[in-house]
Each structure stands twice: as C-alpha cells, then as structure tokens.
Structure 1
Amino acid sequence: MKVIQIAALLGILATSSAFAQSNPASSNTATPSSTLVAASDVTSQAGTWVPPYGQAVAPKTRAQVYAELVEAEKDGQLAYLNSTVYAHP
C-alpha cells in the first residue's frame, strides 16, 4: 500500500513541476531580445490570459470576418473542411 502511495506522490511531483513556471525566470542564459522586449511591454493583470510572447491580439470587425469567410469559400477551404473535418459518416 505504501509503495502505491509513494509512486503516486512521485508521479504528481514529476508532472506538476512541468507546469510550475508561468513566467520565464531571469537567468544569465541567452534569450532572444524580442522576447525580452515583448515581455516588458505587457502590463499583466491578475487572472487575465496573456498570449504567447505577450503580443496583444486585436479583435476583428464583422466586416473582416465576413471577408475571410468569402475568401475561404472562393479558394475552397470551406469545401475541404466540410468534406473532411465536418463530414458525418
């Protein structure tokens, strides 16, 4: 019984350490300057999602989404998705 508990504890410790670091630690290793610049430009708020490299995602207007839909219909992307991903067997 104790062997199972020890194995479960080791499993939890091994998997939780992979998710422990949310922000890159400051160290002396070489990091790309674009990451450092992008990370310094972000004002973080508690509980908000930060996109990769801290780049802000601008919302699209309805006209932009509609234009993408029309383009996808013209170049065949929608037909391909409907025949493969959304096809019901």
Structure 2
Amino acid sequence: MKALKIAVLLSILATGTAFAQTNPATAATPVNSTTTLAMSNATPQVGTWVPPNGQAVAPKTRAEVYGELVHAEKDGQLAYLNSTVYAHP
C-alpha cells in the first residue's frame, strides 16, 4: 500500500512538469517588424482582450449602442433575428 502511494506521488510529479512551457515572448522570433512595432506601441491593460492587429478597441457609448439598435429595427435585422435565431419552436 505504501509503495502504491509512492508510485502515485511520483507519477503526479512527473506529469506536472511534462506540461511546463517556455516563455513564448523569448522563444519566438518576430516575423514581421511592422506587426511587432504596432504591438509594442499598444499598452494592453491586465485582463483585457487585444485584437491580433494590436489596435485597442474603444468601448461604445450608450448613444452609439442605441443608434445601432434603432438602425437594426429600421433595417429589419431585429425582425429577422427574432424569426430565425431567437424563435422558440
């Protein structure tokens, strides 16, 4: 029984280190210098998503969202979504 516990402990320790990764920033070499320059100028905040091109997306105001809603109602996009995607059979 003691040998089984030791074997399990060793297997956990062995597999835990098998998934260790290197730092991708130091391991990868930049292919395109303009992409690297654009990404280095951006100042990402911790916990926020940054698109692949490195340009931060500005949040929309309530007026902009309301304007898109009115446009979608007039355009017929909301009616189409309600009849297809959001329709409950």
TM-score tier by shorter-chain length is 0.5 to 0.7
Query: What is the root-mean-square deviation in Å for CA atoms of aligned residues?
Result: 3.1
2:32 maps to what in 1? 31
Q: TM-score, normalised by structure 1?
A: 0.59
Paired-residue identity, %: 57
Which structure 2 segments of 5+ residues have no match? 1-14
Aligned residue-pair number: 72
Aligned match of 1:55: 55
Cα offset for 1:44? Answer: 3.8
Q: Which has the larger radius of gyration?
A: 2
Q: TM-score, normalised by structure 2?
A: 0.59
**Structure 2 residue 68 is the aligned partner of structure 1 residue 65:** no
Q: Which consecutive aligned stretches of 4+ in structure 1 deviate over 3 angstroms post-superposition? A: 20-24
Gaps of 5+ in 1: 1-8
Asked if the contact 2:42–2:54 (Cα under 8 Å) also holds between the matched residues in 1, the reply is: yes
1:82–1:39 CA distance, 2 compared to 1 (3 A): same
CA separation in 1, counterparts of 2:88 and 2:67?
Answer: 27
